[in-house]
Chain A
Amino acid sequence: MERRVVITGMGCITPLGHDVETVWRRLLAADCGIAPTTLFDARTFPSSFSAEVKSFSLQKCLGADAEKHRGASRNSQFALGAAVSAWKNAGLDTYMGLDPTRVGIYLGGGEGPNDFDPCAAAALAGCLDDAGELMPLDTVRWADTARKVFDAVNELEQEPCCAGGHLAVQFNAQGPNFNTLTACAASTQAIGEARHIIRYGDADLMISGGTHSMIHPLGVTGFNRLTALSTRNDSCLTASRPFDRTRDGFVLGEGAGVVILEELEHARRRGANILAEIIGFGSTADAFRITDIHEEGRGGIAAMQAALDSAGITAADVDYISAHGTGTEENDKIETLAIRRLFGEHAKKVAISSIKSMMGHLIAAAGVVELITCVLAIRDNIVPPTINYANPDPNCDLDYVPNEARKMPVRIALSNSFGFGGQNDALIVRGITD
């Protein structure tokens, strides 16, 4: 018999709060988590603001267990915080019947934040001559300083699979432990692949989601050089404007989201509270250009189509789309086009919103937090808004749920994530009906 995969627990650490219900309440209230950057002095950067996770404490999330994870990077800490809360939400903190060899992990974990100060110090040591003038890198001088300034734990924590390692120790998860890093699509991909692992039978329960913080000097530099970020430094609260004609890029966020995925019968046997079922997943590559999305949304359409096919439903069955909706000129235009092409007549009727308007772009962690909001939309029959929507764009002519949350029946929701380099992923969730 086919193994069905359900969500039985959710947790998140985001710029709008450290627990699912607070974040949900603030999203429905059209609240915004964007502010001037405080993690480093970004005042002269083209983008001096971001959506930071505020006043996070691993100690608060984990209690005495926090000590076990000493040295954990911001990524690993967020992942632990989100996972502990999802674990509790799933009732697993009081359940003793798990077979640890049947519990796995699949994260879209980003690389840990770069340790910038030693990086800059070694660079200057290697590239400035004795008079302080620039010279081509002398690797001997660089190495001399590098050997002294870099810290082993900070470097080790940059490995993208390190967060998954922390979770394995915390939850005694001995099964498959994979990490994908398909850029901005990573946590959507992780959840889709984790579902495959349960369906195949390699695990009964998977801790899945993503974690990422790129709010550090090199992260912001990278996106600023790509001109991908909004530069509305004087009005950061309204800087993230998905689908609005005046959009000028995304706002960098950070955080983590974790969902507990479980085989349906496994969940029923232990009397778990089933929040939703994941019924479809599609993953494709644009195979087009490294810098541009395929003009006709070929890969995005194919990913959504594959997700619909695997769910055994048609586009007309979808009530709500949590858009990738980054607020870049190109993404929003092509995502709209892809939805219009695939959904036909129904495209005008489906509610679409981008929570990136409120919490920025959590990069590898974006997809899972968006999927969590899809589950909550189904639970409460209300969809979050796209805020800062004021100026219609002829290229973006669908219903983006502008500025205010909307009460509406939501049975089936689709969540899109598209990564740099043409990586497309889509997940479909449904409330539990039988």
Chain B
Amino acid sequence: MTSSGRVVVTGLGLATPIGIGIETFWEALLEKRCGLRRIEAFDPSGLPAQIAGELPSFSLRDFIPKTYRKSAKVMSRDIEIAVVSAYYAVKDAGLNTKCVIDRGEAPEPANVDSRRFGANIGAGLICADLPELAGALSTAAVEDRRFSLAKWGEEGMTNLTPLWLLKFLPNMLACHVTIVHDAQAPSNTITCGEASSHIAIGEAYRTIARGDADVCICGGAESKVNPMAMIRPWLFGWLNLDSNESPGDAIHPFNPRRNGTAAAEGGGLVILESLEHARKRRARIYAEIVGFGAGTNVESWSRPDPRGRGISLSLRNALTDAGIDPERVDLVAPFGTGIETYDAAEAAGWADLFGDRLQDVPAMVTRANVGNNGAGSGAIDFAAVTMALYNNTVPPSLNTTGPGAACSFHFAQNDPVDSKITYALSAGHALVGGQSAALVIRRFQE
């Protein structure tokens, strides 16, 4: 197939606290729903922050072939989220992959060549299942409630299932997804915190553009709804501790009321495809990816740079790659953790590029709706921005203020706003490590 190097978005699959599946998610976003609640997965009353964004319940067997049910036993929550997202993404794209065929939902043959089907999935520092690990460790207790490493090595460790480690290797998200959907082309796993999904999507875009694959499934997934995953951001001072009674108030992106963020689980996978491949199978095209750029905070690996220089470089690189000036951008989508120092750095980074005009460009942020989904955050944002562009609709941004001295961005307040969008710019930034990445999406035109 001769390639123009053009890459389009043909499928969106999301698993978020405000909805699973892109349509459910989009409607919830338009209705300003919030997915943060008191934690139900475990008793959170010992934790300083007791709220999080949990997914609506689902049954994994609805998303995998019957023959794969045994393997589901070695999936951590992060892997499950990726597998669910993958199913929604390929179905939304009309891709009849091995999974879809094995489930009897489409006839053979597959409409994608496995050897030209790649994966690039962002993953987090996957937390061990705490009841399982803590329970096993405690079998190595000796007198005086002491832990004995000798006892652990000798017998305690056998209380962990032999395949225990395989639940927590970050590349097992891509491993399960590529097996279930039979994607054998270039594969990668990006572990750059909240920037992971943007990097994974950007890399997949380049993989297809240079001709190494026709189709890629890409994005990211993570669960931070785990006692250990909630202790960490608390130790770093990131969590809002004042909203246990009012979870809907936990995250206020770029708002003077901001007081920290909230942990969540979720993510998404999207289908990118060469234009030729998409055309040949008459796929619905949401948008075209036309730019990818990255930059890094060199001030610190653990604190934001108040001037947001790595962030602004990533935005600038993405626009240069797309061959457009900031003036051409019709929609901006910052990450917006709700942590004061990070939001300030991000606002500075965007303002560095857009200047005073930033307050005039329509903007959107999803963080108050879905929380901090770690490596999955960017895929949720990317899908939301793609939907906004596809529908020429800017969704309202929950818990933000209108433009003015208090906020650098122009967020829609109560209702969706009709707005012609040709170019949108979406970005993600790692809270630890300093990595930033940005993507430029364009309305699809022949």
Determine which of A172, A176, A182, A290 lies in contact with B187 in the assembled complex, contact meaning CB atoms within 8 Å.
Answer: A182
B434 touches A165 (CB 8 A): yes
Instruction: State A175–B115 Cα separation when bound (angstroms).
Output: 32
* Binary per-residue interface labels of chain A (280-300) against chain B in the complex, 1 for a CB within 8 Å, 0 otherwise: 000111111111000000110
Most buried by B among A124, A150, A291: A124
- Asked if A290 meets B130 with Cβ closer than 8 Å, knowing A119-B137, A168-B298, the reply is no
B294 at the A/B interface (Cβ < 8 Å)?
A: yes
B149 touches A41 (CB 8 A): yes
> Considering the chains assembled together, what is the distance between the CA atoms of A75 and B152 in angstroms?
25
A147-B191 in contact (CB<8A): no
Chain B nearest CB from A365 CB (Å) reads 15
Verify if A65 is at the interface (C-beta below 8 Å from B): no
Q: Which residue of B lies closest to A169 (CB)?
A: B298
Asked if B150 and A43 sit within 8 Å, CB to CB, the answer is yes
B-contacting 9-mer, from A127-135, A250-258, A323-331, A394-402: A127-135
Q: Give chain B interface residues in 154-195, CB to chain A under 8 Å.
A: 154, 157-158, 160-166, 168-172, 174-176, 178-179, 181-193
- Size bracket of the B interface: 35 or more
> In this assembly, does A142 line the interface, its C-beta being within 8 Å of a C-beta of chain B?
yes
Residues from chain B with a CB closer than 8 A to the CB of A414 are none
CA distance A147 to B389 in the complex (A): 44
Q: Quick one: which of B191-238 are within 8 Å of A by CB?
A: 191-193, 199, 203, 206, 210, 212, 227-228, 231-232, 234-236
**Does A403 reach chain B (CB closer than 8 Å)?**
no
Cα(A177)–Cα(B203), bound, Å: 12
Interface presence of A173 (CB below 8 A): yes
B407 within 8 A of A: no
A141 closest partner in B (C-beta): B46
Chain B CB within 10 Å, residue with most, of A109, A152, A172: A152
Is B313 an interface residue when CB atoms closer than 8 A count as contact?
yes
Which of A12-20, A224-232, A373-381 participates in binding chain B? A224-232
Asked if residues A283 and B179 are in contact (CB atoms below 8 Å), the reply is no
Interface membership of B58, Cβ < 8 A: no
B393 interface residue, CB < 8 Å from A?
Answer: no
Which chain A residues border B114 with CB–CB below 8 Å?
287
Contact call B169/A183, Cβ cutoff below 8 A: yes
Say yes or no: A132 contacts B141, CB within 8 Å.
yes
- Interface residue? B44 (CB, 8 A): yes
Which range holds the interface residue count of chain A? 35 or more
Of B262-270, B299-307, B326-334, B345-353, the stretch lying at the interface with chain A is B299-307
Is B432 in contact with chain A by the CB < 8 A criterion? yes
User: Which A residues are CB-close (under 8 A) to B234?
Assistant: 147
- B189/A182 in contact, CB under 8 A: yes
Q: Which residues of B contact A109 (CB under 8 A)?
A: 191
Segment among A28-36, A97-105, A259-267, A334-342 that sits at the interface with chain B: A97-105
- Do residues B231 and A224 form an inter-chain contact, with CB atoms below 8 A? no
Q: Report how far A179 CA is from B48 CA in the complex, Å.
A: 31
11 residue pairs A–B, Cβ–Cβ below 8 Å: A123-B134, A143-B227, A152-B236, A155-B231, A162-B301, A165-B301, A174-B296, A180-B190, A181-B170, A286-B178, A291-B166
A175 to B131, CA, bound (A): 41
**Is A302 part of the binding interface, using a Cβ–Cβ cutoff of 8 Å?**
yes
Q: What chain B residues lie within 8 Å of A138 (beta carbons)?
A: 43
- In the complex, what distance in Å separates the CA atom of A189 from the CA atom of B188? 8
Nearest CB in chain A: distance from B318 CB, A: 10
Q: How far is the CB of A130 from chain B (nearest CB, A)?
A: 10
Say yes or no for A354: interface residue by CB 8 A criterion: no
**Contact of B295 (CB < 8 Å), options: A41, A140, A174, A419:** A174
| A137 to B: closest C-beta gap in Å | 4
Residues of A close to B298: CB separation below 8 A: 100, 168-169, 172-174
With A and B bound together, what is the CA distance between A202 and B430 in angstroms?
20
Which single residue of chain B is at the shortest CB-CB distance from A178? B199
Q: Taking the nearest CB of chain A, how far is it from the CB of B79, in angstroms?
A: 10
Q: Is the CB–CB distance between B171 and A284 below 8 Å?
A: no
Q: Mark B305-320, 1 if CB is under 8 A from A, else 0.
A: 0000110010001000
A180 to B294, Cβ gap below 8 A? no
Task: Establish whether residues B147 and A124, one from each chain, have CB atoms under 8 Å apart when the complex forms.
Answer: yes
Chain B residues, CB < 8 A from A222:
164-165, 168
Task: Report the bound CA distance from A100 to B298 in whole Å.
Answer: 10
Complex: A136 Cα to B153 Cα, angstroms: 22
B130 touches A137 (CB 8 A): yes
Which of B44, B179, B206, B435 is in CB contact (< 8 Å) with A164?
Answer: B435
| Chain B CB within 8 A of A166 CB | yes
Q: With A43-B153, A175-B295, A193-B188 given, is the CB distance from A140 to B135 under 8 Å? A: no
Q: At the interface, yes or no: B138 with Cβ under 8 Å from chain A?
A: yes
A409 to chain B, nearest CB (A): 32
> Could you tell me if A161 and B138 are in contact, using CB atoms closer than 8 angstroms?
no
Q: How far is the CA of A232 from the CA of B231 in the complex (A)?
A: 39
* Residues on A with beta carbons closer than 8 Å to the beta carbon of B203: 178, 193
Residue of A41, A123, A423 ringed by the most chain B CB atoms within 10 A: A123
Q: List the A side residues contacting B169 at CB < 8 Å.
A: 181, 183, 420-421
If the complex has contacts A139-B44, A423-B187, are A178 and B179 also in contact, measured as CB distance less than 8 A?
Answer: no
Measured CA separation A136–B152 after assembly (Å)? 18
B74 contacts chain A at the CB level, 8 A cutoff: yes
Give the chain B neighbours of A421 by CB distance below 8 A.
166, 169, 171-172, 174-175
Q: Does B57 contact A (CB under 8 A)?
A: no
A120 touches B (CB below 8 Å): yes
- What residue of chain A has the Cβ atom nearest to residue B199's Cβ? A178
Contact partner of B435 (CB less than 8 A), chosen from A43, A136, A161, A182, is A161
Q: Which 6 A-B pairs have the closest CB atoms?
A: A165-B301, A143-B46, A222-B165, A421-B175, A44-B153, A161-B433
Q: Is A121's beta carbon under 8 Å from chain B?
A: yes
Checking A136, A226, A291, A302 against B184 with a beta-carbon cut-off of 8 angstroms, the contacting residue is: A302
